[in-house]
Structure 1
Amino acid sequence: MVGDGSLRIEILGSQHDRTLFNCGAEPLDRYFRTQAGQDARKNMAAVFVLVLQEGTIGGFYTLSATAVKLGELPSEVTRKLPRYPLVPATLLGRLAVDLRFRGMGYGGYMLADALYRSVRSEIASFAVIVDAKNDDARRFYERESFLALPDRPNRLFRTMADIADLFR
């Protein structure tokens, strides 16, 4: 159960056994088992793992820098922004929970951690961007107050100003 003190989120390291992780989405499982370590070592993505009390990995997520075209954002959001062609953002590239632990609140727990790390960063970023892999993922992010880009319904964002309000 989330909040019982048995969970911790760590940066992926060689001590983490990724071999048994299975979220049910083959591309995410393959990424986590074979590519995540390389991405972390090459600074392509920061990979974070949810570690349960017994050391089992319950889930993971990645953060990296990205940019979004100003014209892709809703006009009500861009009115007060400078007219730069690209707006800096933080990409929550992947977020997955092992099938054994679905329905326990771990996805929301990792999302909150990712948002907190993003808003605390000293790197300028206007928003957190996510690319929902399917309708279920899109609905998950929409429940967490992410908004879809007008022309790309599976690409969602939440402004850093809104995220900062969460942690005040």
Structure 2
Amino acid sequence: MSRTTDYLPPKLLEKGFDRTAFDCGIEPLNEYLRKYALQNQKRDAARTYVVVDPDDRILGYYTLVFGAVEPDDVPDSISSGLGRYQIPIILIARLAVDLSEKGKGLGGFLMREAFLRTIQAAEIAGLRAVMVEAKDENARAFYEKVGFRRSPSDQFKLFLNISDIRKNLDV
């Protein structure tokens, strides 16, 4: 079922990686990788990590950015004990898998790798949760399967507490 051991560790996106061949079936995600990911990285607005094959063809990617959300936008389990202050989060702004790799475990592998990077960031600066914005119901179902909980204010914004990630990854 899962080939996650066959994948090379994610690398920070570089100009030399083949972005043109990537196709996840969702054009805005393809376009972001092709046109904007490297620009956003150069401007320190986001970091995009890619899994590539031995020929540097991108098989999947995820993009991380820091942010903060209002307490009313997160499940109570995340806002509990923080008063009315904004809640520090890391946003998995995009996560996509090439159609050639669908169903092979790469999406879960990318999510785990994003979680590991998030835990590292949480050791440096305060982070309470990971947030994702599901593009559709299929994406939302994927994130909920991983353990994300819906925002009370937007059913396509989902959150996962950093402490839950630490427990699940045993770190």
Q: Does TM, normalized by the shorter one, top 0.5? A: yes
What SS is found at the alignment partner of 1:125?
coil
Q: Which amino acid aligns with 1:158?
A: L
Identity in percent: 36
Name which of 137, 160, 168 aligns with 2:139.
137
Structure 2's unaligned 5+ residue stretches are none
Asked if 1 retains the 8 angstrom alpha-carbon contact of 2:67 and 2:89, the reply is yes
Q: Which has the higher helix share?
A: 2
Q: Which has the higher strand share?
A: 1
In structure 2, how many angstroms separate the alpha carbons of the residues matched to 1:113 and 1:63?
A: 11
User: Alpha-carbon deviations, 1:11-68, whole Å to 9, x = none?
Assistant: 0011211010011111111110001110010011001001123432101110001111
What SS is found at the alignment partner of 1:118?
helix
In structure 1, how many angstroms separate the alpha carbons of the residues matched to 2:17 and 2:125?
A: 28
In structure 1, how many angstroms separate the alpha carbons of the residues matched to 2:55 and 2:20?
A: 16
Q: Which amino acid aligns with 2:147?
A: S
Q: Which amino acid aligns with 1:140?
A: F
**Partner in structure 2 of residue 72 of structure 1:** 73
What SS is found at the alignment partner of 2:155?
strand
Aligned residues: 166
1:164 and 2:169 aligned = no
- Choose between structure 1 and 2 for higher RCO, CA contacts under 8 A separated by at least 6 residues: 2
In structure 2, how many angstroms separate the alpha carbons of the residues matched to 1:124 and 1:50?
A: 27
Segments of 4+ moved more than 6 angstroms: none
Structure 1 residue 83: Cα displacement: 2.5
**Partner in structure 1 of residue 45 of structure 2:** 44
What SS is found at the alignment partner of 1:153?
coil
Q: Which amino acid aligns with 1:88?
A: P
What SS is found at the alignment partner of 1:152?
coil
Q: Which amino acid aligns with 1:98?
A: D
